[in-house]
Amino acid sequence: MTYKELLKKVTFKEMEPYLIEHYKVNNALGWYKLHYDMLIKLEPKVSNDANGNVCKIGYYSDYEGDKHIEAWPMEGDLWDHSLTKEIVIDKDVTATLPEIAACCLWHSSFYGFTPQTHEQCFDDMFCKPSDFKNYKEKFDFYAEIIAKHGGKVPTLKELSICKHQELSKEAKEYLSKSKANRSKRKKRFREEFMDLYYRRLSVIDEYIAKIIPWLEDLSIDHLYQLFYSEKFCTEVIQSFAMKESGVEYLCRLIKDYKIIPNMEHLILLVTTGQKVLTPKEKSMLHYLVSTVCGCKQYHVFFAIDPSLGNQAIISYAAYNMTNNLNKDETTN
């Protein structure tokens, strides 16, 4: 039985209890659903660069002596190749197929759930954005695009006192383990602070640059407030729909798994392969942003990419102008 065959033998609903119990993924369950659906649609393909053709399922004991199930090797491998791996289960394993599938899913999503989150994961790991030398270069690139459309980005002096204190605290925590004299620590602090500063602003100006071509009833000046948000979160959510439309799939996913954090303001860029949304899709989107996401103010924009066919992509920016985000939600 291959990994792909294993996934087809179980439903995601059957796997959910094990993902929650063993891996404590309550807040990320929707992302595991995306990963599962992506693998179901993905065609298995053998690669010579992958890490073996077999995935062993067995038990290991942690430092407290507790026994856990594991799937190895699976982490970091090419997804299409992982689907071809033969699942070999040790004789002493008593876990059910949904539990084994949940274990494999946790391992295969270790470095990202989708192509977009996979790239973001490695950017974070290496502290370097893809296609750029550093975050300042990325910031400058998108700031230039914004400027060409009549917009602007704030200077360091315009950074709010609250956000300045937050970034300073992060920089100090990073340097707390560093052994260096005062002069070197001061220089390192400045470097780390500026890296954090450009990392945050590059994420925001990239989103603004992405949405500019599709602005209708919102001016680019209105987007300027994103730079002054106390909390800001953005993600790209791609659909992996089977029979329903990509928009319907994403609306249901976000509704069922609360995959977008509840914040004061929300901007959605919905990209589809079709020019006109159906009344059902429009109704679902309106319900999603006005009720499920719990925001005070929202804007929805639409883009077209014919290559998507029946699929869709939602790129969102959720943000607070006051610091009241739940502590377990990832933000910039």
Q: Which CATH architecture has domain 229-320?
A: 2-Layer Sandwich (3.30)
Using DSSP, state whether 58 is helix, strand or coil: strand
In the predicted structure, residue 264 carries a pLDDT above the cut 70: yes
Give the pLDDT score at 329: 39
In the predicted structure, residue 23 carries a pLDDT above the cut 90: yes
Could you report the per-residue pLDDT of 156-173, keeping only the tens digit for each? Answer: 999 888 889 999 999 998
In the predicted structure, residue 331 carries a pLDDT above the cut 70: no
Burial (Cβ within 10 Å: 0-12, 13-18, ≥19) of residue 169: exposed
Could you report the per-residue pLDDT of 119-129, keeping only the tens digit for each? Answer: 888 888 777 88
Q: Residue 274: CB partners within 8 Å, gap ≥ 6?
A: 304
From the list 121, 115, 120, the residue with the least C-alpha distance to 35 is 115
d(CA 59, CA 90): 8
Using DSSP, state whether 154 is helix, strand or coil: coil
Q: Tokens for 170?
A: 């992060």
In the predicted structure, residue 223 carries a pLDDT above the cut 80: yes
Give the pLDDT score at 180: 66
Q: DSSP labels for 59-111?
A: EEE-TTS-EEEEEES-TTS-HHHHTT-EEEE-TT----HHHHHHHHHHHHTTT
Q: Tokens for 68?
A: 């856990």
Indicate the average pLDDT of the chain.
Answer: 90
d(CA 324, CA 264): 9
pTM score of the predicted model: 0.90
Domain ranges within the chain, ordered by starting residue: 3-113, 122-212, 229-320
In the predicted structure, residue 205 carries a pLDDT above the cut 50: yes
- Torsion angles phi and psi, residue 111, rounded to 5: -110, 25
From the list 48, 62, 44, the residue with the least C-alpha distance to 108 is 44
Q: In Å, how far from its chain's centre is CA 114?
A: 8
Give the pLDDT score at 322: 65
Q: In Å, how far from its chain's centre is CA 227?
A: 20
Q: Across residues 236-250, what is the average pLDDT?
A: 96
| Contact call for residues 306 and 261 (beta carbons, < 8 A) | no
| Contact call for residues 170 and 196 (beta carbons, < 8 A) | yes
In the predicted structure, residue 50 carries a pLDDT above the cut 70: yes
Q: Across residues 269-290, what is the average pLDDT?
A: 88
d(CA 306, CA 274): 7
| Contact call for residues 179 and 185 (beta carbons, < 8 A) | no
Give the pLDDT score at 123: 86
Beta strands in the chain (DSSP E): 54-61, 67-72, 86-89, 231-238, 265-272, 297-304, 312-320
- pLDDT above 90 covers a percentage of the chain that reads 68
DSSP lists the bridge partners of residue 2 as: 86
In the predicted structure, residue 314 carries a pLDDT above the cut 50: yes
In the predicted structure, residue 225 carries a pLDDT above the cut 70: yes
